[in-house]
Each structure stands twice: as C-alpha cells, then as structure tokens.
A and B are shown apart, each in its own frame.
Chain A
Amino acid sequence: SQTIHQWPATLVQPVGSPLSLECTVEGTSNPNLYWYRQAAGRGLQLLFYSVGIGQISSEVPQNLSASRPQDRQFILSSKKLLLSDSGFYLCAWSLAGVSEQFFGPGTRLTVL
C-alpha cells in the first residue's frame, strides 16, 4: 500500500531564515505530487504541483519554490521566510490521470 511522509512535523523559524520541507511517497511510481498551504481558519491553497521529475508548476506567485529531484520526493523551499509564510503545509499525491489525492500528515510552520 502507498504511504506518504512529511517532515518535520512542526517547525518554528525566524523571519528571514531559509526553509526546506520534504515529502516522500512509498508504494507507487510516477505519482503526481502537490504542495498545499492551509492558513489558520482558511481553506487549502494549492502552491505547486508536479507530474514528473524536474517538472514543477507554480499556482501562485510567492516567496516559495519547489523541486522534485526524484520520482517520489518533493521538496518545498524558501530562501528567506516571511511572517505570512506561517501555516500548515500539506503534501499530497495522486495517481497520474486519477483525481483522488491523498495527504501526508503535514508540517505546521510558525514564522516569528
């Protein structure tokens, strides 16, 4: 069966510091991968999605970037965090051509 991992689970970072969040999927090949952010009391916002290694689509202009160095690895990064980057970051995967997405446990980021 497929599993999705995210780490760290929680993170507190100062403004201006870099960020790297990692997501890995097991038990499937060539998944579509997604990064979402959920701000407090708000809905999920799609940040990036990827249909293959090195292929990244950005949904909204922002302070973040994403990379997919391996088939089942998806990384979310920032060079300098802003206060507004605080939120619950969720990675998800789906099979290519299938709509259902499955989420990892998330990383709760607080920027101070």
Chain B
Amino acid sequence: RKEVEQDPGPFNVPEGATVAFNCTYSNSASQSFFWYRQDCRKEPKLLMSVYSSGNEDGRFTAQLNRASQYISLLIRDSKLSDSATYLCVVNGAGGGNKLTFGTGTQLKVEL
C-alpha cells in the first residue's frame, strides 16, 4: 500500500464549480498534513496546512479525519487559475521533518 494515495484525475470542471479531492495515508503516527499545488514544470508550493479541526483559506477548505486516515481539499468557485496538480503531503514519524508526497490530483478548470 502506498504511504499516501490520491486519485490522479484529471478532474475537468467548469469555471465556478466546486470540486473536492481526497487523499488517504497509511502511517497512523503522522502528525502534520498539507496540500501543495504544483503547476506544470514548476516546483510545488505550499497551499495550506491541514489541522484536526479543519481550516479554511478563502475558497479553499481542508479537512482531516484521523480515524479514517483521510484528508480532503474543497475548492469553491473554481477559477481558470486553479488549474494545477494538487499534492497531498504527510509528515511521517521519522526524524528531520521528512514529508511523504502523494503523486497528485490534476485539476483542469475550463470556460
């Protein structure tokens, strides 16, 4: 089983739509969770951290379910500029703050 699993997509959605991505992780000892965004041929950029209580940043909402080892990202009112690959990232129990990256979910927002 992969440490972090994501549906690769692509998710093709019209502008203005709401889209949700899910991610599962295998290490129950993981303590930190993130969503990163990666544009084509660019470096990943931190989108948001995911807290146990859930958190929202503008049109983006992230939620964590520790019991099910499941993380989600909701994007409301999708913009063309949201088109990218979204990486689910989990911090393991090892030292040095090592992160494990999912392979990403590709989002394409269309007119």
Name A residues whose Cβ lies closer than 8 Å to a Cβ of B: 32, 42-44, 46, 49, 51, 57, 59, 88, 90, 94, 96-106, 108
Interface string of B42-53 (1 = CB under 8 A from A): 111110010000
Place the interface of chain B in its size category.
20 to 34
Chain B contact residues: helix, strand, loop or mixed: loop
Q: Which residues of A contact B45 (CB under 8 A)?
A: 103
Give the CA-CA distance A10 to B60 in the complex, in Å: 33
CB of B98 within 8 Å of the partner chain: yes
Q: Closest CB-CB distance, B58 to chain A, in whole Å? A: 19
Q: Which residues of B contact A99 (CB under 8 A)?
A: 31-32, 34, 91, 97, 99
Q: Which residues of B contact A43 (CB under 8 A)?
A: 87, 101-104
Give the CA-CA distance A105 to B42 in the complex, in Å: 7
Question: A43-B87, A44-B101 provided; 8 other pairs, C-beta below 8 A?
Answer: A42-B103, A43-B103, A90-B44, A99-B32, A100-B49, A103-B44, A105-B43, A106-B42
Residue pair B43, A57 in contact (C-beta under 8 Å): no
Closest B residue to A101 by CB, please name it: B99
Residue pair A106, B32 in contact (C-beta under 8 Å): no
Give the CA-CA distance A46 to B31 in the complex, in Å: 18
Give the CA-CA distance A96 to B99 in the complex, in Å: 14
Which residues 69-111 of B have a CB within 8 angstroms of A? 87, 91, 95-104
Q: Closest CB-CB distance, A39 to chain B, in whole Å? A: 11
